[in-house]
Chains A and B, each alone.
Chain A
Amino acid sequence: MQGAIDSTPVVTGHEVAAHEEHQDLRVLGLITFLASEFLMFAGFFAVFLVFRGSHVQWPPEETEVELLLPAVNTLILVSSSWVINLGTKAIKKNDLAGMRKWFGITAAMGAIFLAGQVYEYMNLGYGLKTNLFSNCFYLTTGFHGAHVFIGLVLILGVLWRSRRANHYTDITHTGPEMAEIYWHFVDVVWIVLFSLIYLLTLI
């Protein structure tokens, strides 16, 4: 078989998996993975709910959460999900400049979210070790923040790669699509987290 003459390009399993033609598989793989990762957050949320249910005062007096800043932050993050969707819609119409614009705005919004979170941490007046509520608070929001950071890196990676000519077109756009799916995941987790940790303190 070695050196057989064959004018058609040979496609092998190895190339197949890393090849642009197999975007459907990669998107599927990401969704499967995110389903799994959601369960890790579910574990944290379950722990939080158990503690909330078993304590009379929750959160305790000295560790009440700030509400205005996270609400603004939530608005920014949730709306960034629409923005990134505009970006992938643009690339599906082969509008590279549009994609870069919307992805850039999304990245900026993500960065603002992270900066807001850091600002919130610095001004709350209590730390990770203060009490059980602050343990839960910093752990869950911190883990979510780490995921936002990863999403931000993905988006910046897409922007970096989009400099290459014809890297993303109306046919090959798995990268932006996967970044978008990941960003939505981060968003959905935040909505659950915000409801549990911030909104439930109002009741």
Chain B
Amino acid sequence: MAQADISIKPTELQGGHGHPDKWKWYDYFTFNVDHKVIGIQYLVTSFLFYLVGGFMAVLMRTELATPNSDFLSPELYNAFLTNHGTIMIFLWIVPAAIGGFGNFLIPLMIGARDMAFPKLNAIAFWLNPPAGAVLAASFFLGGGAQSGWTSYPPLSEITANLPQTLWCVALIMVGTSSILGSVNFLVTIWKMRVPSMAWDQMPLFCWAMVATSVLALFATPVLAAAMVLLLFDINFGTSFFKPDAGGNVVVYQHLFWFYSHPAVYLMILPIFGIMSEVIPVHARKPIFGYKAIAYSSLTICLVGLFVWVHHMFTSGTAPWMRIFFTISTLIVAVPTGIKIFSWVATLWGGKIRYTTAMLFAVGLLSMFVFGGLSGVTLGAAPFDIHVHDTYYVVGHFHYVLYGGSVFGIYSGIYHWFPKITGRMLNEPLGKVHFVLTFIGTILTFTPMHNLGMQGMPRRVAMYDPQFAHLNQLVTVGAYILAVSVIPFYFNVIWSWMKGKEAGPNPWNAMTMEWTTDSPPIIENWEVLPVLTHGPYAYGMERSDEVGPAGEPLPASRS
């Protein structure tokens, strides 16, 4: 391993090789190959897209506050519906959780100076802003794609063809970005750890990113195939998904869900990694069940590739397939439950500091249990057939995506903001943000379950007046969520400029990224660190001699 010989060279010095010790502000707007810059670029752009997608959601909820369609035109409502989903998934959660945290943290956590392929990394990021621009352009060239974020044919082939084409192109771009990023993460984690770090001494976030990357690597190209076929159908006169010419619309659903079901694990596995980092630090305890958490990520990755048909129980799926996919779907709850159990066990008897990062992590635990359980009910074919395409489904996935992924991203931001910027976030303001978010999430997404059980269909702008009261409650919740981002964005911008200096390790954490300056210098360390203790060795009498789960560190590992 040639790179290992180089990286342990102790005489390495900074500043002698032609680039500066610190980036200037404008470096963050250029094609920069530093993984920290790319991580920040991912985070900032995704947080901008979060505002765009959230704005669409607020407009839709305003429309849905009354049973009649009187605020948005039907076309515009459909376009917001489609692009809200697309932006939130592909341009907010995935780039923030995978691109942002993954790029910023992985090299720092494993003691590398950069990712394995820095230029590829920058290319992967720079596919995202144009994808967002293409989606935005589709609004001005025919009113935006209008067939929902799933874009099922034949609907997607008969509505607004040009915007639908642009939508496909945008998805292919973010998909390519995701594949290139995954290649980079896998090779980096595989080959660029400091020589003293064995696989089972790696922080759990890196394990989560391994699972995420494998999943993205195998699932994303299938979505690309679906997009290409749809593009050909719309623009070049083929008939893959045109039943009157022998095509088959269900084939599209298979291809689409083969990616888009694993995509929910793409959005939650990095969050599980963030949870596994935040909880032990703020509970001052070694993580409970290191290996269980690590392997359960890989199990979710594996099983997650065999569950996609549970989105298609009502698409004419054969009964034997329903049985198989019901069982495989329910099995996913097992490794997820192992993780939840391990985090609760880590909290048990810990010396918990209720920082905002910890509040969001604990909030996530409760939210995710609720959302996960409604997912288990949906995974069972008989119940799913009853509530399919109702607001029950909408409530479920928003519980896991907002209460899970978004809470996790917030938690990670509060935890690593000092490392990223060198300054602390304001804690009281953070707590205001947390309370608003928590109340808003419950108020917005819980009544949706009731609406769904009563039969309110999703994806519609008009509904029966009997649902009006619950819908008003949901809309009020959505407004609270909209307001909740104000203290957060204000906090981030203000603290980035004027916040309290953080110092290298404000939380007294044990993982390797806290051993360098905040923000880290350009090559991360002047002299690469040597692993002396596991990432979660809290409260040990001689913390420098124990491994991640508290066991003594073997004399030589490499």
Interface pair B12/A13, CB less than 8 Å apart: no
Interface pair A39/B222, CB less than 8 Å apart: yes
Q: Per-position contact with A for B155-196: 1 when CB-CB < 8 Å, else 0? A: 000000000000000000000000110111011001110000
B81 at the interface (CB under 8 A from A): no
* Residues in B neighbouring A17, C-beta threshold 8 A: 114-119
* Residues in B neighbouring A36, C-beta threshold 8 A: 179, 182-183, 217-218, 220-221
- In the complex, how many angstroms separate the beta carbon of A50 from the nearest chain B beta carbon? 5
Interface pair B2/A24, CB less than 8 Å apart: yes
Residue of B nearest to A35 (CB): B217
Q: Per-position contact with B for A33-64: 1 when CB-CB < 8 Å, else 0? A: 10111111111101100110011000000000
State which of B19, B116, B225 has its C-beta within 8 Å of the C-beta of A43: B225
State which of B119, B220, B238 has its C-beta within 8 Å of the C-beta of A135: B238
Residue of A nearest to B247 (CB): A132
Interface pair A50/B248, CB less than 8 Å apart: yes
Interface pair A39/B218, CB less than 8 Å apart: yes
Count of interface residues, chain B, beta-carbon cutoff 8 Å? 64
Considering the chains assembled together, what is the distance between the CA atoms of A6 and B34 in angstroms? 24
State which of B183, B224, B248 has its C-beta within 8 Å of the C-beta of A51: B248
Which residues in window 2-21 of B have CB below 8 A to A? 2-3, 6, 9, 11-17, 19, 21
* Interface-central residue, A1, A10, A24, A132, by most chain B CB under 10 Å: A10
* Interface-central residue, B12, B117, B192, B225, by most chain A CB under 10 Å: B225
B453 at the interface (CB under 8 A from A): no
Considering the chains assembled together, what is the distance between the CA atoms of A136 and B184 in angstroms? 33
* Residues in B neighbouring A47, C-beta threshold 8 A: 225, 229, 240, 251, 255
Considering the chains assembled together, what is the distance between the CA atoms of A36 and B246 in angstroms? 30
B75 at the interface (CB under 8 A from A): no
* Residues in A neighbouring B184, C-beta threshold 8 A: 29
Interface pair B221/A128, CB less than 8 Å apart: no
- In the complex, how many angstroms separate the beta carbon of B378 from the nearest chain A beta carbon? 26
B523 at the interface (CB under 8 A from A): yes
* Residues in B neighbouring A16, C-beta threshold 8 A: 3, 6, 113-114
Interface pair B523/A13, CB less than 8 Å apart: yes
Residue of A nearest to B219 (CB): A39
Interface pair B187/A32, CB less than 8 Å apart: yes
Residue of B nearest to A55 (CB): B246
Residue of A nearest to B12 (CB): A10
Interface pair B118/A129, CB less than 8 Å apart: no
Residue of B nearest to A33 (CB): B183
Q: Per-position contact with A for B1-44: 1 when CB-CB < 8 Å, else 0? A: 11100100101111111010100000000000110000000000
Considering the chains assembled together, what is the distance between the CA atoms of A16 and B118 in angstroms? 10
Decide if the interface of chain A is mainly helix, strand, loop or mixed. Answer: helix
- With contacts A1-B14, A21-B2, A36-B183 taken as known, whether A29 is within 8 angstroms of B116 at the C-beta atoms is yes
State which of B120, B218, B240 has its C-beta within 8 Å of the C-beta of A29: B120
Interface pair B246/A131, CB less than 8 Å apart: yes
B526 at the interface (CB under 8 A from A): yes
Q: Per-position contact with B for A79-120: 1 when CB-CB < 8 Å, else 0? A: 000000000000000000000000000000000000000000
* Residues in A neighbouring B9, C-beta threshold 8 A: 8, 11
* Residues in A neighbouring B222, C-beta threshold 8 A: 39-40, 42-43
* Residues in A neighbouring B179, C-beta threshold 8 A: 33, 36
* Residues in B neighbouring A21, C-beta threshold 8 A: 2-3, 6
A28 at the interface (CB under 8 A from B): yes
State which of A25, A39, A54 has its C-beta within 8 Å of the C-beta of B221: A39
Query: How extensive is the interface on chain A, given as a class?
Result: 35 or more
* Residues in B neighbouring A135, C-beta threshold 8 A: 232, 238-240
Interface pair B113/A12, CB less than 8 Å apart: yes
Considering the chains assembled together, what is the distance between the CA atoms of A26 and B184 in angstroms? 10
Considering the chains assembled together, what is the distance between the CA atoms of A26 and B219 in angstroms? 22
Interface pair A40/B225, CB less than 8 Å apart: yes
* Residues in B neighbouring A163, C-beta threshold 8 A: none
B226 at the interface (CB under 8 A from A): yes
- In the complex, how many angstroms separate the beta carbon of B185 from the nearest chain A beta carbon? 10
- In the complex, how many angstroms separate the beta carbon of B14 from the nearest chain A beta carbon? 5
A71 at the interface (CB under 8 A from B): no
State which of A4, A11, A32 has its C-beta within 8 Å of the C-beta of B186: A32
Q: Per-position contact with A for B469-502: 1 when CB-CB < 8 Å, else 0? A: 0000000000000000000000000000000000
* Residues in A neighbouring B238, C-beta threshold 8 A: 128-129, 135, 139
B318 at the interface (CB under 8 A from A): no
- With contacts A4-B15, A43-B225, A129-B236 taken as known, whether A13 is within 8 angstroms of B114 at the C-beta atoms is yes
Which residues in window 494-543 of B have CB below 8 A to A? 523-524, 526
Which residues in window 104-120 of B have CB below 8 A to A? 107, 112-120
* Residues in A neighbouring B119, C-beta threshold 8 A: 17-18
* Residues in A neighbouring B254, C-beta threshold 8 A: 46
Considering the chains assembled together, what is the distance between the CA atoms of A16 and B2 in angstroms? 10
- In the complex, how many angstroms separate the beta carbon of B21 from the nearest chain A beta carbon? 7
Interface pair A50/B251, CB less than 8 Å apart: yes
Considering the chains assembled together, what is the distance between the CA atoms of A44 and B251 in angstroms? 11
A3 at the interface (CB under 8 A from B): yes
Interface pair B229/A12, CB less than 8 Å apart: no
* Interface-central residue, A13, A24, A55, by most chain B CB under 10 Å: A13
- In the complex, how many angstroms separate the beta carbon of A150 from the nearest chain B beta carbon? 14
Interface pair A12/B523, CB less than 8 Å apart: yes
Interface pair B217/A32, CB less than 8 Å apart: yes
B245 at the interface (CB under 8 A from A): yes
- In the complex, how many angstroms separate the beta carbon of B292 from the nearest chain A beta carbon? 27
- In the complex, how many angstroms separate the beta carbon of B266 from the nearest chain A beta carbon? 14
Considering the chains assembled together, what is the distance between the CA atoms of A12 and B7 in angstroms? 9
Considering the chains assembled together, what is the distance between the CA atoms of A6 and B9 in angstroms? 13
Q: Per-position contact with A for B40-70: 1 when CB-CB < 8 Å, else 0? A: 0000000000000000000000000000000
- In the complex, how many angstroms separate the beta carbon of A2 from the nearest chain B beta carbon? 4
A22 at the interface (CB under 8 A from B): yes
Considering the chains assembled together, what is the distance between the CA atoms of A51 and B248 in angstroms? 8
* Residues in B neighbouring A40, C-beta threshold 8 A: 221-222, 224-225
B237 at the interface (CB under 8 A from A): yes
A164 at the interface (CB under 8 A from B): no
- With contacts A22-B3, A28-B190, A44-B225 taken as known, whether A2 is within 8 angstroms of B21 at the C-beta atoms is yes
- In the complex, how many angstroms separate the beta carbon of B31 from the nearest chain A beta carbon? 13
* Residues in B neighbouring A29, C-beta threshold 8 A: 116-117, 120, 183-184, 187
For the complex of A and B, list the 3 residue pairs with the smallest distance between their C-beta atoms, beginning with the closest: A13-B113, A43-B225, A13-B114
Report 7 cross-chain contacts, Cβ distance below 8 Å, ordered by A residue.
Answer: A11-B12, A15-B17, A39-B221, A39-B222, A42-B221, A129-B237, A139-B238
Not counting A14-B118, A51-B247, a sample of 11 additional A-B residue pairs whose C-beta atoms are within 8 angstroms of each other reads: A12-B113, A13-B112, A16-B6, A17-B114, A25-B192, A37-B221, A39-B219, A40-B222, A131-B245, A132-B239, A132-B245
The interface of chain B, by Cβ under 8 A from chain A, is 1-3, 6, 9, 11-17, 19, 21, 33-34, 107, 112-120, 179-180, 182-184, 186-187, 190-192, 217-222, 224-226, 228-229, 232, 236-240, 245-248, 251, 254-255, 258, 523-524, 526
